[in-house]
């Protein structure tokens, strides 16, 4: 059976490590991170039961890279050596393709060097093409639910200079009245804006405003958030009544205060996908014990799903690699997903399904804000 591996790492070091090593929880985060950096990668859980509706099945294995988001971003050379060890381990477990999870995809050059001869023994993908495909679907679905007409609405992309942010900008901006490209560096935002214009073609009239100010967020109807900030960036005071936030970032970038204090906005977890078959994940260190991502049954992150889809296709070559994501990759993986029976897992907010009641409340908040 075709086999894939997916590299994961702790997102919230203190909370997750406390589960495995309770005595470590009393140490400061930096000390726990330093301890983890001394540990070797290990195979953590099996993935079984993914069965294509077109026929064929695949299995997988989660490999843990025991590095924190901060170390993955700030020490890319060291992180690279650990990620390479993860790929070697994946190979030993029979994987024919490897997906880079969360910050292992943001670290360094996002798989370019890993895919060079003499580096990873298994081809590597970041999984970002299918993540973008599902983020776009979430935006369309959320606009329909709240009766938002994109050509009358304003979009903000937070993390616009990043791989996912840039791809979402060229795929979505032309449908909206105005798109704010929000980032940390105006020069980088200018580069992104030129790249997006190149995608849209000469003569395109799409309106953009690049900014480093979070003040513009109060003017946006839809926010798409995809940054590698390990901290929350979107707080209750940033959001307009009746707006929608699609948060693709992991760890999430929308503060949990938004869930508590702003029942008039809809926050959607980007990139959660329903997979075909009867998905089961089991810990290797405790046979018989299920491994959970905290999602409903039969769901995975889109980047994991992309890796499984490539295994189903027998596409054992690098797929989404580097920071630029191309339209043909999004179309191709989207087509394969449909063929095999992968689809967006409805709309979810802070790990729970979005209810009719929530939608009605946010829709009413929009109406009230418009007539005020």
Ligand X SMILES: NC(=O)c1ccc[n+]([C@@H]2O[C@H](COP(=O)([O-])OP(=O)(O)OC[C@H]3O[C@@H](n4cnc5c(N)ncnc54)[C@H](OP(=O)(O)O)[C@@H]3O)[C@@H](O)[C@H]2O)c1
For binding to ligand X (CB under 6 A), which residues are involved? Answer: 102-103, 105-106, 127-128, 131, 159, 161-165, 183-185, 188, 226-229, 233, 248-250, 270-271, 301-303, 323
- Helices 186-200 and 163-172: angle between axes, nearest 10 degrees: 40
Q: Which is nearer to ligand X, 193 or 264 (CB)?
A: 193
Q: Which is nearer to ligand X, 111 or 242 (CB)?
A: 111
Indicate the pairing of strand 348-349 with strand 352-353: antiparallel
DSSP code per residue over 90-152: HHHTT-SEEEE-THHHHSTTTTTTTTSTTS-SS-EE--HHHHHHHHHHHHHHHHHHTT--GGG
Side-chain half-sphere of 292: how many Cα atoms within 13 Å? 7
The least CB distance from residue 243 to ligand X, in Å, is: 19
Q: Which is nearer to ligand X, 250 or 366 (CB)?
A: 250
The least CB distance from residue 122 to ligand X, in Å, is: 19
The least CB distance from residue 144 to ligand X, in Å, is: 21
The least CB distance from residue 77 to ligand X, in Å, is: 16
**Measured between alpha carbons, how far is 89 from 151 in angstroms, rounded to an integer?**
49
Q: Which is nearer to ligand X, 129 or 264 (CB)?
A: 129
Closest residue to ligand X, judged by C-beta, is 162
In a 3-state reduction of DSSP, which class is residue 298? coil
The least CB distance from residue 162 to ligand X, in Å, is: 2
**Measured between alpha carbons, how far is 339 from 128 in angstroms, rounded to an integer?**
19
The least CB distance from residue 180 to ligand X, in Å, is: 14
**Measured between alpha carbons, how far is 222 from 142 in angstroms, rounded to an integer?**
9
Query: For residues 269, 56, 112 and 91, what is the CA-based torsion angle, rounded to 10 degrees?
Result: 110
Q: Which is nearer to ligand X, 60 or 162 (CB)?
A: 162
Q: Which is nearer to ligand X, 95 or 302 (CB)?
A: 302
């Amino acid at each position: 059976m075709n086999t894939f591996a997916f590299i994961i790492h702790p997102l919230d070091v203190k909370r997750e490590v406390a589960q495995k090593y309770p005595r470590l929880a009393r140490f400061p985060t930096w000390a726990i991170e330093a301890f983890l950096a001394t540990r070797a990668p290990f195979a953590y859980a099996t993935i079984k039961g993914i069965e294509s509706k077109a026929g064929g099945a695949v299995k997988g294995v989660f490999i843990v890279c025991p590095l924190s988001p901060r170390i993955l971003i700030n020490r890319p050379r060291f992180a690279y050596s650990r990620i390479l060890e993860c790929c070697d381990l994946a190979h030993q477990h029979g994987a024919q393709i490897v997906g880079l999870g969360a910050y292992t995809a943001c670290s360094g050059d996002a798989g370019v060097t890993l895919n060079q001869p003499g580096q990873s023994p298994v081809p590597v993908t970041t999984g970002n093409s299918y993540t973008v495909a599902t983020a776009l679907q979430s935006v369309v679905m959320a606009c329909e639910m709240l009766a938002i007409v994109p050509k009358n609405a304003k979009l903000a992309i937070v993390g616009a200079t990043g791989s996912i942010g840039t791809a979402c900008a060229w795929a979505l901006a032309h449908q909206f009245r105005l798109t704010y490209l929000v980032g940390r560096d105006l020069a980088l935002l200018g580069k992104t804006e030129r790249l997006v214009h190149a995608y849209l073609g000469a003569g395109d009239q799409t309106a953009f405003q690049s900014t480093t100010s979070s003040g513009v967020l109060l003017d946006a109807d839809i926010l798409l958030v995809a940054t590698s900030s390990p901290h929350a960036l979107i707080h209750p005071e940033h959001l307009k009544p009746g707006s929608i936030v699609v948060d693709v970032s992991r760890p999430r970038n929308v503060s949990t205060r938004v869930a508590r204090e702003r029942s008039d906005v809809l926050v959607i977890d980007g990139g959660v996908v329903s997979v075909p078959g009867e998905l089961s994940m089991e810990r290797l260190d405790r046979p018989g014990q299920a491994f959970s991502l905290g999602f409903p049954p039969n769901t995975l992150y889109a980047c994991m799903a992309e890796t499984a889809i490539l295994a189903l296709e027998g596409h054992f070559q690098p797929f989404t690699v580097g920071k630029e994501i191309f339209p043909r990759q999004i179309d191709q993986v989207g087509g394969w997903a449909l063929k095999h029976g992968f689809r967006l897992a409805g709309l979810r907010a802070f790990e729970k399904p979005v209810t009719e009641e929530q939608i009605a409340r946010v829709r009413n908040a929009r109406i009230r804000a418009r007539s005020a």
